[in-house]
C-alpha cells in the first residue's frame, strides 16, 4: 500500500496494488476485485472508503482508497499485546 497524491484534486489517497507474483493467479485477481466490489458497497464511520478499482497498462490490479493517518491494526495489537473485547466493541 502506497501513499499517493492526486494532482488534479489535490487529495491524498492510499493505493493498494496486487503483488506482481499474484497477477497470473486468476483466483487472487478475482478475490482482489471482489474485495473492491464488496467494500465499495459498505458505508460506516469505522470503514475506509474505496474510491476506485482498475488495472494498470501492465496488467496490475489496484485499489484507491481514502488515506487515514495513524497506526495500523497490527501496530496497535503489538503495542497493547492484543485487543481487549470491551475496547473492540467500543
pLDDT tens-digit readout, 38-76: 988 888 887 888 899 999 998 899 999 999 888 888 898
- Report the alpha-carbon distance of residue 12 to residue 15 in Å, rounded: 10
Cell triple for 1: 500500500
More reliable by pLDDT, 23 or 34: 34
More reliable by pLDDT, 31 or 72: 31
Q: What per-residue confidence (pLDDT) applies to 67?
A: 93
Which pairs count as long-range contacts for 2-9, CB under 8 Å and 24+ apart, including other chains?
Answer: 3/67, 4/64
31: closest CA among 18, 12, 42, 40? Answer: 18
Q: Which residue has the cell 475496547?
A: 87
Q: What per-residue confidence (pLDDT) applies to 63?
A: 94
- Report the alpha-carbon distance of residue 17 to residue 61 in Å, rounded: 6
Q: What per-residue confidence (pLDDT) applies to 72?
A: 84
Amino acid at each position: 500500500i502506497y501513499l499517493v497524491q492526486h494532482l488534479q484534486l489535490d487529495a491524498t489517497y492510499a493505493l493498494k496494488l496486487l503483488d506482481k507474483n499474484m497477477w497470473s493467479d486468476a483466483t487472487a485477481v478475482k478475490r482482489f476485485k471482489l474485495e473492491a466490489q464488496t467494500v465499495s458497497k459498505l458505508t460506516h464511520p469505522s470503514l475506509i472508503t474505496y474510491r476506485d478499482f482498475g488495472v494498470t497498462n501492465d496488467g496490475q490490479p489496484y485499489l484507491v482508497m481514502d488515506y487515514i493517518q495513524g497506526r495500523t491494526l497490527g501496530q496497535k495489537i503489538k503495542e497493547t499485546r492484543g485487543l481487549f473485547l470491551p475496547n473492540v466493541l467500543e
